[in-house]
Every structure is written in C-alpha cells, then in structure tokens.
Structure 1
Amino acid sequence: MNPIGLELTFTAQDVANTRFAISPLGEVVASVRVVKNPAAHALLRPWAEQARERLAGVHWELLSDLVPVPTVSIVGFVCPPPSIAVPDLEVELATMRSLAHLVRTDLDAWGVPRSKRLDALYADPERGLERLAEEIRRYWAAAIEPYWPRIGGLLGGDVLYRARRLVEGGLRSMLADLDPQVTWEDQTLRLPNAYFSGVRPLRGLGLLLVPSVFAWPRILSVTVPPWQPTVRYPPRGIATLWERSGAEPPEALAAVLGRTRAILLAELDQPASTRDLALRTGLSAPGANQHLTALRRAGLCTAHRTGRQVLYARTAIAEALLGRDADT
C-alpha cells in the first residue's frame, strides 16, 4: 500500500463545480461487497445477515461477477456517477443501459478473468446490460428497498450537514471531517487508497461527493475520464444505523411538549423522514407528520426536501432544550 494515496488538485473552477449526490445504484453495487464478505464490514453485519436471507432464491449472478471480492476496482459502466443530485434507481439504470458502447473497452481494461456470464455480456453488451438492470432491480427489492427510508435519511442528512459546514466555513470546513485520513491543503484533497496513488487534476469538472453507507470503511474514488471525478465516503452516524436508538427525552421537556413530540425530537440525532420516524416510534405516518408539523411551526425542527422525501432536522433551540451540542 502506498501511504501517499490520491491527491486531487482543485482550480477555482473545480471549487465552483463541486457538488453532492445520492446514488441508489451506487448503494446496490457497494453493498454486494458486504453481502459477499460480511466479516470485513463489522458495522454492516446486521444488515448483511438479513440481506443474505432475503436474497435466497434471487438471481444476481452477473452483478456478483462484476463486483469481485476483494474489490480493487469496478468497471465504470456498472455504476456511473449520478448526473443529478437525487436520482431514483430507474434513472440510474437508464444511464447504465445507455453505456453499452463502453462495455468491451471497460472489460478489456479491467484485468479481471471473465466468467461465462461476463463473456456473454462482452459478446452482446445491449442484451447483457438489460439482464444486469433486471438483476439489480431484484437485488434492490430484496436487500435495499426495505431499508431505504433509514439509509436514504442518513445519506440526505449527511448532505444537509455538509451543506451547512460549507456555508459556515467554506470548502475546508466541509471536507475537514470527511474521514480521518482525508486532508485538505493548498487546494489539494488527499485521499487514502490501497491500490492507486498519484496526482489527479479535476479537469475543471469539480468533485462529486457521494455519501455511501456501503462504502464503509473505505473511501472509494473515480478519477478517470469520461466521468466527473467522484468520491464516495461513509456518512456520519453509520455506527448506529441498524440500531433503534430508544432515545429518551428529558422528563421536563416531555412534560411541556408531550411525550410523543419530545421523543420525536430525541430521535432526530440525524435528519430523518416521516416514514423512518414512524417506524422507529410506532406512530402512524400521518400521526408522525402531524407532530412534526407542530414542532416545525414551533421552531424546534426544520424540513428539507431531498428528492422525493422530506427530512426533518432539529434546530439549535431543540438541541439546547435536549441539552446537546448542536455541532455533534
């Protein structure tokens, strides 16, 4: 392993073009590594154990072949960087299916021995990508979609957090706690990488930052043309993703707000959707929404739309009432 890793150099144009996105397809592809080798992903094992059961009888062999373990690299056509901030899975699959012209070149450069399924993909890229898209839909329905309210909430919450850091302290502040091994100095972002090293200019395209639950514990990067340079990183709060917090609000706060609303505030350690909060607290979705609306009107939480869902986050006033540091 080269300790230097990757160095991504920024120009003023790159800073201006840096953006965030959430990628359902990226979560599918990264999660395959976890299903195939759960021992290497301790924080994700609760999900992996359930996912392996849910995937019993589901055919995803071609997808599996395209994500070998250990994963040195993944061919570009399988998981292209998202072009919009919050695409749904079908939008990303449509992009993937449009990349048949890259299949043979990418597989030739990949350097991984080809299985019979990969040979079939190579021989007929259009038909092969249709098969891959269908496998991904089945895999998503079994292993990711049941957990997406919480996963999507965590990813969206991280984007909101970093947007706030960017506004308050600029790019340095936003990137400062991306990962303990990531540093920003002299217009250069330095990333750990076990397999590649060197300096990569961003070519004026800026950096695409994609929070990814299933990237953990690694920072995953794409720096080769034609894609926008992309970094996939684990979001904040991943250690408690599969746990029910059982958050208990202060009794004095519950006496003023009512226990249900106080519990909802306590559950918002990370931004979350109405559906996720309803699942955690045992409320109906309409009931949770009614209480959240009241809390928002009182200035105790804010609502932010990310794609098709609305994420609620505590305000500084709520943090103070709960006796917590608003920056944690």
Structure 2
Amino acid sequence: MGEVRFGVRDVAGVRFAISPLWETVTSFSAASDPGRYAIHLPWLRSVRALREDRALAARTAPLRALAVVDPLRGDLPDFLTPPPRCPLAEFEEELANLSATSAEESGAALPELADALRAWWEAAVRPFWPRIRAVLEADIAYRTRQLAEDGIQEVLARLHPALHWTGDRLVFPHLPSEFLDLDGAGITLAPSAFAVHCRLLTGPGPTPPAAVYPSRAVGTLWECHGASGDGLARLLGRSRARLLAFTSSPATTTQLAARTGLSLGAVSQHLAVLREAGLVTSHRYRREVHYATSELGDALLERA
C-alpha cells in the first residue's frame, strides 16, 4: 500500500499527459498474455499475425525480456516507463528521452531496446494510435470538466475505484509499501488504454512523477463505428454523419481523416459546416484544434 503526499504547490502543479511510449510497452504485455486483456480482443485478433512474425519477434526480443510481466504486480522496470514530460508528446520524443538513460541505470542494451520499441510501435500501435489517443483525450476532457465542477480532490479520488484520498495523501493499493512526498514537484495524471490498474511512475531528474490510471470508455475503443443511422446520413450526408459520430470524443482533423479515409481538406470543410450548424464545437490547445460534438450534436446522434 503506497501513499503520495500532496502539498499546496503540488495541488497547483497537477497536469495531464498522454504517453505513447507507455501504451507501446503495456500493449506489448497485453499481446503476450491475451487472456488477461479480454477488453482488447478485437485489437488482439488484428495483431495475432504479428506475434507469429519471426522478423518482428527477433527485433522485439529485448523488449520481451522486460515488458512481459504479471499486470497485477506491475513490476515494469522504472527506466522503461519514465513519467511523460509533455501532454502532447510524440512517440519518437519519448523514445529519445528513454535512449538518454544511462546503460548503468537500465542494465540493458539501449539501442537494441529502442529498436524493439520502435518495431512494436510501428507494427501494432501506430496504425491504431488516432483511435487510442482520441479515447485518452476524451478522458482528459472529462477530468478537466470534473475539475471545474468538483475540484481536484474529487478528480484524484475518482481516477480509479481502488484509489482513495486520506487527508493530504492519495493511497495507491497496488504500490509497494512506500511513501512519496511530492515536495512541490506536482504530479502528472496520465490515462491509459492498456493499464490494468493504477501505477506511479517516477524517474531521475526534475520530471514530476506520473500517476497512470485506466482510461474511461476503453470498452468503446474497438467498437466498429460505421455510418450513423440512414436518417441522419440522409439529413447531413454520409460523410458529415460519420464525422459527427467520430467527434463524440474530441479529435483533430488529422485524426478524423485517419479514421474516415477522407482528405484533410474534405474533413475541414465538413467540420466547418457542422460547426456553423451548432453540431460540433472546437477548442485550441497549443498547435492543435480539437473538435467535439455539442449538446445538440450529442442529442442528434442519440436520437439517430
């Protein structure tokens, strides 16, 4: 039973992030032990052939020795899953940070390990990343709304049923018996599609620790989102109806283009029409604009 102590500065330093590196590592564990990850069966079926690919098996061998663990124990090596540093980090950025880890600390051949991670990312995660990231971003959007309505204590207490808030401490039942004082560093909250339970990630240097927790709505991750009902398609047009369905969780034009097969220009034009009609809203974060259904759009989808 581990505990994390929050001070005033730590509460002010709570932030959210998504880690493609973490998802790559944990998805590899899931593919190696499908029986424990029934919720991901559609994805597991789609990557079944990858597990039988000899060339890929050879490249990912250094990862297999480290990442295939009992998910109830969660004993992934710390250096393999560093805390995410940026809310919009790309896989290659996180891999570069991992590669900067000293060989003495990791006890592993880092070039071979980096190649193994890249091979699994390219083969099994990257093709599905727009869908995975959309679910994780939707979780973050939900938590930020919860923060505005209920405060940070409720956000922390509701990350997972097994977590609970006691005084100024967050208790992690799956952690070893240890106590971590954040001491003003703050903490990063990172939703995960493949996490079985909550994990606390710590690393060297000034990077704040991260609490990884199972994302909301993972059960919808592999659903087949075909076109919406025929009535809605006749009303809006089939492409706009599909886009409206895919914006039920926040997504960028690039993500929507990847999911629908439409060009970026076509997606932008259709989104402009949907936004003018009040069916979707948009908000900018740094260099990205995220689109999501409005209350009217949600009602229309539900009715359809």
- Band the TM-score falls in, shorter-chain normalisation: 0.7 to 0.9
Shift in Å, 1:44: 1.3
Which residue in 1 is equivalent to 2:38? Answer: 42
Which residue in 2 is equivalent to 1:64? Answer: 64
Which residue in 1 is equivalent to 2:124? Answer: 143
Kindly indicate whether residue 72 of structure 2 is the aligned counterpart of residue 84 of structure 1: no
Shift in Å, 1:282: 5.5
User: What's the secondary structure of 2:151's corresponding residue?
Assistant: helix
User: What's the secondary structure of 1:200's corresponding residue?
Assistant: strand
Residue identity matched to 2:293:
R
- Rounded to whole Å, the distance in 2 between the matches of 1:99 and 1:249 is 51
- Rounded to whole Å, the distance in 1 between the matches of 2:230 and 2:159 is 31
Shift in Å, 1:249: 5.2
- Rounded to whole Å, the distance in 2 between the matches of 1:263 and 1:51 is 26
Contact 2:130 2:258 (C-alpha < 8 Å) held by counterparts: no
- Residue correspondence of structure 1 range 155-174 to structure 2 within 5 A: 155-174=136-155
Which residue in 2 is equivalent to 1:268? Answer: 247
Out of 294, 298, 304, the residue aligned to residue 319 of structure 1 is 298
Kindly indicate whether residue 279 of structure 2 is the aligned counterpart of residue 300 of structure 1: yes
- Rounded to whole Å, the distance in 2 between the matches of 1:136 and 1:45 is 22
Kindly indicate whether residue 182 of structure 2 is the aligned counterpart of residue 186 of structure 1: no
Which residue in 1 is equivalent to 2:104? Answer: 104
User: What's the secondary structure of 2:180's corresponding residue?
Assistant: strand
Shift in Å, 1:167: 2.2
Which residue in 1 is equivalent to 2:213? Answer: 233
- Residue correspondence of structure 1 range 220-259 to structure 2 within 5 A: 220-222=199-201, 228-246=208-226, 248=228, 251=231, 257-258=236-237
Query: Do the aligned partners of residues 42 and 204 (structure 1) sit closer, same or farther apart at CA in structure 2, a change above 3 Å counting?
Result: same
Contact 1:249 1:263 (C-alpha < 8 Å) held by counterparts: no
Instruction: Give per-residue Cα distances to partners, 1:141-188, cap 9 Å, x unaligned.
Output: 111111111111111222222122212322134335322222334332
Shift in Å, 1:88: 1.1
- Rounded to whole Å, the distance in 1 between the matches of 2:75 and 2:97 is 20
- Rounded to whole Å, the distance in 2 between the matches of 1:81 and 1:294 is 40
Tell me, which stretches of 5 or more residues in structure 1 are unaligned?
108-120, 122-127
- Rounded to whole Å, the distance in 1 between the matches of 2:160 and 2:249 is 18
Instruction: Say which is worse superposed, 89-98 or 270-279, in terms of deviation.
Output: 270-279
- Rounded to whole Å, the distance in 2 between the matches of 1:164 and 1:129 is 40
Tell me, which stretches of 5 or more residues in structure 2 are unaligned?
none
Out of 191, 194, 197, the residue aligned to residue 218 of structure 1 is 197
Task: Show structure 1 runs of 4+ deviating over 6 A.
Answer: none
Instruction: Say which is worse superposed, 172-181 or 273-282, in terms of deviation.
Output: 273-282
Query: Do the aligned partners of residues 305 and 143 (structure 1) sit closer, same or farther apart at CA in structure 2, a change above 3 Å counting?
Result: farther
Contact 1:36 1:69 (C-alpha < 8 Å) held by counterparts: no
The alignment yields a C-alpha RMSD, in angstroms, of 2.7
Query: Do the aligned partners of residues 183 and 245 (structure 1) sit closer, same or farther apart at CA in structure 2, a change above 3 Å counting?
Result: farther
Query: Do the aligned partners of residues 92 and 306 (structure 1) sit closer, same or farther apart at CA in structure 2, a change above 3 Å counting?
Result: farther
User: What's the secondary structure of 1:311's corresponding residue?
Assistant: strand
Out of 187, 192, 201, the residue aligned to residue 181 of structure 2 is 201
- For normalisation by structure 1, the TM-score amounts to 0.79
- For normalisation by structure 2, the TM-score amounts to 0.85
- Rounded to whole Å, the distance in 2 between the matches of 1:155 and 1:225 is 26
- Rounded to whole Å, the distance in 1 between the matches of 2:250 and 2:187 is 24
Q: How many residues align?
A: 296
Query: Do the aligned partners of residues 289 and 66 (structure 1) sit closer, same or farther apart at CA in structure 2, a change above 3 Å counting?
Result: same
Identity of aligned residues (%): 40
Query: Do the aligned partners of residues 270 and 235 (structure 1) sit closer, same or farther apart at CA in structure 2, a change above 3 Å counting?
Result: same
Out of 112, 115, 131, the residue aligned to residue 134 of structure 1 is 115
User: What's the secondary structure of 1:302's corresponding residue?
Assistant: strand
Out of 17, 36, 42, the residue aligned to residue 13 of structure 2 is 17
Contact 2:83 2:203 (C-alpha < 8 Å) held by counterparts: no
User: What's the secondary structure of 2:165's corresponding residue?
Assistant: strand
